[in-house]
Structure 1
Amino acid sequence: MNKKLILKLILLSIFLIGFSIRSFAQKKHAFEIKDGHFFYDGKPVQLISGEMHYPRIPHQYWRHRFKMLKAMGLNTIATYVFWNAHETESGEWDFSEDKNLRRYIEIAGEEGLHVILRPGPYACAEWEFGGYPWWLQKVEKLELRSDNAAFLTHTKNYLKRLYQEIGDLQITKGGPIVMIQVENEFGSYAAQRKDIPLDQHRKYNQKIKDQLAEVGFDVPFFTSDGTWLFDGGAIDGVLPTANGEGNIANLKKAVDQYHNGKGPYMVAEFYPGWLAHWAEPHPAIDASIIARKTEEYLQNDVSFNLYMAHGGTNFGFTSGANYDKKHGIQPDLTSYDYDAPISEAGWVTPKFDSLRNVIKKYAKYSIPSVPAPNKVIEIQAIKLSKAADVLSMLEKQKAVQNNTPLTFEKLNQGHGYVLYSRKFNQPISGQLNISGLRDYAVVYVNGEKVGELNRYYNQYSIAVDIPFNSTLDILVENMGRINYGAEIVHNNKGIIAPITINNIEIEGNWEMYKLPMDNAPVFDNLSKSDVYNVGEPKAKALQGRPAFYEGTFNLSEAGDTFLNMEDWGKGIVFVNGKNLGRYWQVGPQQTLFVPGVWLKKEKTRL
């Protein structure tokens, strides 16, 4: 045979094989809602789902966690999309590393899991500001979560950009995304905002659904609310699902009323655990209770989504806060363990075993073995070598000056800390009152600590004695914006109202120093006069003052571990430039999870 012909045949064969592989990889499946059931490729399917959020887990661990979910017996995963994780400033987008939503969804598909997408634009999720970008509060005439032109312009831009990122991963285009949620728990918001007519709430909710369709999302839509809140949250032609509904008769009755008299029936948030706040006990739910309810759902063809199946961690400044009248604010822990069946560090729990055993009885597919956990290491005591005086460092920076204290938002800062400073040419003493504190402050006079103020404990005042020619410093921390309820629209941080001493408003010559802590402090870049060797008298004198500390340690091998911070008061920790999150001696959390992928075998910097 002619050599050229043989070569052409070989090339043609390679092309056909390659085309066949690509065709197989992109084979389209079908998912639809009809006749009161979910159908996958024409066959009825029960969605056995678990919630897991991509930014709460290092991206290097995503596949391991998906394998854990499959081993528990799940066939589906659900995730919120956190708008503020991606649009960090208006028009500036980040879908890299732990925010790489596309890769997260692709890995889920590769592991044989369906994906339920919950893009909001509101998420809740005990996440900072419920997923809204903090800078929305600076947009003129914008009203959150309402039929407001400025707000809807930004939601449309967000959804368009989201579609560009992951639109082709819908099942209609060969991907694993089978359903998309419209808004989130909007019925509860509508019930709380009685100052807005219900028809206006419904108009807004419908517009979010329309925006999702307009940008290109075309898989089945659903809403998610407590069954008693469907009236404000359900949308015509969209499947309503329930949150926290344990009574199947109630579930079916509510869904039938709002969905053409028939199902399918789904509990979109089935709680195997619960969220936790600082200064409050850890909630806990017994594994046997969750196992029994799971079996009841499986027996009655009720699909469900475990919220959370694996919670992970609120790294950095991502944890939100709840609001109640007693405390004003209830900041959420750094750990988002949630008493979930898979622990914060990705470990099997008794709840995992209970659920796996129950699901195995009913699943119509094989359930794989449980993958081995990631390596865990113990680190001996870490010696700190350097300390830096934060007040001294900040006061050398250029201040923002104003007649009255400015909020974080007016200072164009989203998170972290702001130092409010004022010099007094005349002595004054009495009760310092900061009724507009948001959220936590340490008060100093001439560098000496006077005390702490705290929105959680309703501590807004403290006695001060300010001598002639002295300086009052107030270091304020944002402990997370409210993520749920009607108060979400009141989320400015810093100091939002006048400061008084003995009921006299203190105006004039306020200086504000920004400390967003977007990155770890680099001691080599700090002024030498602000940095001390730990152990020398100047470093010891920092006790009671805000300070940075640095240390390094060497490892023979990397692995997951926890830092015990119970003796450290209040602050944040960076490891190799990664912000592990907040610690606070009030508990209940006393340790910070350290993913092994953020450590180094050689020198690790703390």
Structure 2
Amino acid sequence: MKLLNNIILVSTMVLVLLGKAEETKAQKHTFALGDSTFLLDNKPFQIISGEIHYPRVPREAWRQRMQMAKAMGLNTIGTYVFWNLHEPEKNKFDFSGNNDIAEFVRIAKEEGLWVILRPSPYVCAEWEFGGYPYWLQNEKGLVVRSKESQYLKEYETYIKAVGKQLAPLQINHGGNILMVQVENEYGSYSNDKEYLAINKKMFIDAGFDGLLYTCDPEKDLSDGHLPGLLPAINGQDDPAIVKSKIKALNAGKGPFFIAEWYPAWFDWWVTPHHTVPADKYTAKLDAVLKAGMSINMYMFHGGSTRDFMNGANDKDTTPYEPQISSYDYDAPLDEAGNATDKFMQFRAVIQRNLAAGQTLPEVPAAKPSMVIPEIQFQAAVRLADLLSAPTKHEKPLTFEDLNQAYGFVWYRSTLQGGKTGVLKIKALRDYAIIMVNGKRVGTLDRRNAQDSLSLTLPAGKVTLDILVENLGRVNFGPNLLKNKKGITEYVSFAGTEIQNWDMFKFPFTEVQSLKFKSAAQADGTPVLKKGNFNLNQVADTYLDMRKWGKGMVWVNGKNLGRYWEIGPQQTLYLPAEWLKRGKNEIVVLELNKPEQKTLSSLAKPILDSIKNEEK
């Protein structure tokens, strides 16, 4: 027994020593700034990075997307961290499932990729509220991107929670995070160096004690830079200009990092799909790589903006423009994770610029796609039949007043009929379906600056219903601080303000618990439809929404995003990872064409088909 105990003791000591050796081995890397290049283990290192956002890709597909990145020649992945995902409600944090960013980073390491981390509370990213959680607007006096005390308090709580997840994964702690970005294009917003210094201190206090940097577009580079941090440039790929601009802010030195290099652009509703041929970029990429500069492609792979997470453009000189669900971006890797012609051309450029003897992995075969059998909907329920437990108030309340982040709010009031007049919703945010005595009478759309509708009301007491959809909070520009949703001021009819409202919340955080009926009355009002379909095999597919009007789709409880017949997106990407052999469940929320009864699919997406809008 004594001999056995000694053997166990020796074995344990060997394992401990091996563990420490592995730990030492893992921590051997260093990453620093040279005068003209980055230094990895004291040797020049050129970052060839591409952006992938973990929430825009099913967790089950993260590894496949990273393998594709390696096959194109990338050695690094860039990603934002999204505050509104990780703290959806105040002091309630979520780093699980598709929000498990630490696992995303660890998988990148397993696949031989470095990571550039961008955990600024503000991300832009064509993402709802630029990444800010909606509830910040309920904190009295809070001003985002400022030194206002309440904002800094919430910011600090958030960044420390992120630090607990990710600071241990920095390269100086044995991980694969090379650099961490402080704020995000702040120079496009303001130029307060004291505020930037507070950001830096918060990051360090949260455990981000490695290499920190800032990034800004060329024209805003000086305003967004904090002396002492590496300045990186966005949207400029002329090597001479990049060197000149960065040297001017960095004591005549590099390294030279293009933090956002755009191979194409994003889309919003009723605007043509943005595409740019690869040959417009290959020479520029070649020039940057030959100059020894580092680069991060925004995006390498866009994926999809699911749930209610799309943002919107809104400037004082342009209309409100909510973005579509597809974040294909005409990127090198398409929405489903397959190599495009742009991928192959960029890969050839990177291959030419590799050191002698280096080769790239083979490009994996394209993922299979399929057409699934036509879906018949067996059950339905009118949204009007789901109204219960209203919040009552003299005036209509916003989503924020109701402590509701996303989705829809149904507003109901009663007024005296027997007259004709104009119904006006002051400051509608964003899309409204108007119903009188249960019948649909029209829609109003913020995109088209519509806030009024002429109505003739029947005699007697009239029930007025208004279903309002949050189409996505602004993610960039001067109106970032004007992001409340719903009916944000008042409703009037024939010049008189309507009062005494019932409000019903429809956040649609899930739909599987809803009670459906075998049939629902088709009265033209919004409806939810449920169906099942059986599969013998699984593969990617694209739901063909061209016969439908406007709404959202859930498959097996997963929200696939919004569809809208106005285009340009006419399909919804349904990833194989969210399908299963046998029975699958689908739920569709249809706002404008509740008579639809079947849904088909395609093996390829339709991302560039615009329909004329009905005025």
Q: Counterparts of 2:196 and 2:17 in 1: how far apart (Å)?
A: 48
1:276·1:338 contact (CA, 8 Å) conserved in 2?
yes
Contiguous gaps of at least 5 residues in structure 1:
191-197
Q: Counterparts of 1:354 and 1:105 in 2: how far apart (Å)?
A: 27
Q: Counterparts of 1:12 and 1:259 in 2: how far apart (Å)?
A: 51
Give the structure 2 partner of residue 392 of structure 1: 385
Q: 1:495 to 1:9 in 2, by over 3 A?
A: closer
1:560 to 534, 540, 548: 540
2:554 to 566, 574, 580: 574
1:372 to 362, 365, 368: 365
Letter of the 1:389 partner, please give it. Answer: R
Match status 1:164 vs 2:156: no
Letter of the 1:384 partner, please give it. Answer: F
Give the structure 2 partner of residue 43 of structure 1: 43
Give the structure 2 partner of residue 362 of structure 1: 353
Q: Counterparts of 2:11 and 2:257 in 1: how far apart (Å)?
A: 51
Report the CA distance between 1:246 and its aligned residue.
Answer: 2.7
Give the structure 1 partner of residue 573 of structure 2: 593
Q: Counterparts of 1:462 and 1:350 in 2: how far apart (Å)?
A: 48
Report the CA distance between 1:371 and its aligned residue.
Answer: 2.1
Q: Counterparts of 1:421 and 1:521 in 2: how far apart (Å)?
A: 26
Q: 1:105 to 1:458 in 2, by over 3 A?
A: same
1:324·1:330 contact (CA, 8 Å) conserved in 2?
no
Give the structure 2 partner of residue 26 of structure 1: 26
2:164·2:207 contact (CA, 8 Å) conserved in 1?
no
Letter of the 1:318 partner, please give it. Answer: M
Give the structure 2 partner of residue 332 of structure 1: 323
Give the structure 2 partner of residue 412 of structure 1: 403
Q: Counterparts of 1:464 and 1:12 in 2: how far apart (Å)?
A: 82
Q: Counterparts of 2:484 and 2:13 in 1: how far apart (Å)?
A: 64
Give the structure 2 partner of residue 475 of structure 1: 467
Match status 1:115 vs 2:115: yes
Match status 1:452 vs 2:432: no
Letter of the 1:598 partner, please give it. Answer: W
1:341·1:351 contact (CA, 8 Å) conserved in 2?
yes
Match status 1:484 vs 2:498: no
Q: Counterparts of 1:89 and 1:66 in 2: how far apart (Å)?
A: 31
Match status 1:290 vs 2:281: yes
Alignment of 1:387-536 (within 5 A): 387-394=380-387, 397-467=388-458, 468-506=460-498, 508-523=499-514, 525=515, 531-533=517-519
* Deviations 1:191-211, CA, capped at 9 Å, x for gaps: xxxxxxx4xx22212211111
Report the CA distance between 1:6 and its aligned residue.
Answer: 8.3
* Deviations 1:497-527, CA, capped at 9 Å, x for gaps: 1112233222x2111111010101534x35x
Letter of the 1:106 partner, please give it. Answer: R
Match status 1:80 vs 2:80: yes
Q: Counterparts of 1:116 and 1:51 in 2: how far apart (Å)?
A: 9
Letter of the 2:484 partner, please give it. Answer: N
* Deviations 1:415-474, CA, capped at 9 Å, x for gaps: 000011111234332111113100001111111111110011111111112222111111
1:466·1:472 contact (CA, 8 Å) conserved in 2?
no
Give the structure 2 partner of residue 382 of structure 1: 375
Give the structure 2 partner of residue 195 of structure 1: none
State the Cα RMSD in Å: 1.7
Give the structure 1 partner of residue 597 of structure 2: none
Give the structure 1 partner of residue 69 of structure 2: 69
Report the CA distance between 1:324 and its aligned residue.
Answer: 3.0
Q: 1:442 to 1:8 in 2, by over 3 A?
A: closer
Q: Counterparts of 2:496 and 2:16 in 1: how far apart (Å)?
A: 83
Letter of the 1:393 partner, please give it. Answer: L
Report the CA distance between 1:68 and its aligned residue.
Answer: 0.2
Q: Counterparts of 1:250 and 1:379 in 2: how far apart (Å)?
A: 51
2:213 to 212, 218, 222: 222
Letter of the 2:554 partner, please give it. Answer: F
* Deviations 1:387-414, CA, capped at 9 Å, x for gaps: 11111321xx011111111100001101
1:555·1:602 contact (CA, 8 Å) conserved in 2?
yes
* Deviations 1:65-114, CA, capped at 9 Å, x for gaps: 00000100001110000011100111101111111000000011111111
Q: Counterparts of 1:502 and 1:232 in 2: how far apart (Å)?
A: 49
Q: Counterparts of 1:207 and 1:12 in 2: how far apart (Å)?
A: 46
Q: 1:479 to 1:19 in 2, by over 3 A?
A: same
* Deviations 1:136-177, CA, capped at 9 Å, x for gaps: 000112111111110001111111111111110000000000
Q: Counterparts of 2:278 and 2:67 in 1: how far apart (Å)?
A: 21
Single out whichever of 584-593 and 383-392 deviates more from structure 2.
383-392
Identity of aligned residues (%): 42
1:553·1:605 contact (CA, 8 Å) conserved in 2?
yes
Report the CA distance between 1:327 and its aligned residue.
Answer: 4.9
Residue 426 of structure 2 aligns to a residue whose secondary structure is coil
Single out whichever of 452-461 and 324-333 deviates more from structure 2.
324-333
1:27·1:174 contact (CA, 8 Å) conserved in 2?
yes
Give the structure 1 partner of residue 175 of structure 2: 175
Residue 467 of structure 2 aligns to a residue whose secondary structure is strand
TM-score (norm 1): 0.93
2:238·2:288 contact (CA, 8 Å) conserved in 1?
no
1:327·1:457 contact (CA, 8 Å) conserved in 2?
no
Residue 71 of structure 2 aligns to a residue whose secondary structure is helix
Report the CA distance between 1:16 and its aligned residue.
Answer: 6.2
Q: Counterparts of 1:53 and 1:28 in 2: how far apart (Å)?
A: 28
Residue 338 of structure 2 aligns to a residue whose secondary structure is coil
Residue 600 of structure 1 aligns to a residue whose secondary structure is coil
Give the structure 2 partner of residue 57 of structure 1: 57
* Deviations 1:4-32, CA, capped at 9 Å, x for gaps: 49835872686268436733663431000
Letter of the 2:296 partner, please give it. Answer: N
Q: 1:120 to 1:352 in 2, by over 3 A?
A: same
Residue 266 of structure 2 aligns to a residue whose secondary structure is coil
Letter of the 1:469 partner, please give it. Answer: K
Give the structure 2 partner of residue 102 of structure 1: 102
Report the CA distance between 1:599 and its aligned residue.
Answer: 1.1
Letter of the 2:262 partner, please give it. Answer: Y
Give the structure 1 partner of residue 311 of structure 2: 320
1:227·1:250 contact (CA, 8 Å) conserved in 2?
no
Give the structure 2 partner of residue 300 of structure 1: 291
* Deviations 1:37-65, CA, capped at 9 Å, x for gaps: 20000101111000000000011100110
Q: Counterparts of 2:487 and 2:333 in 1: how far apart (Å)?
A: 39
Single out whichever of 99-108 and 358-367 deviates more from structure 2.
358-367
Match status 1:237 vs 2:224: no
Q: Counterparts of 1:16 and 1:146 in 2: how far apart (Å)?
A: 48
Contiguous gaps of at least 5 residues in structure 2:
587-615
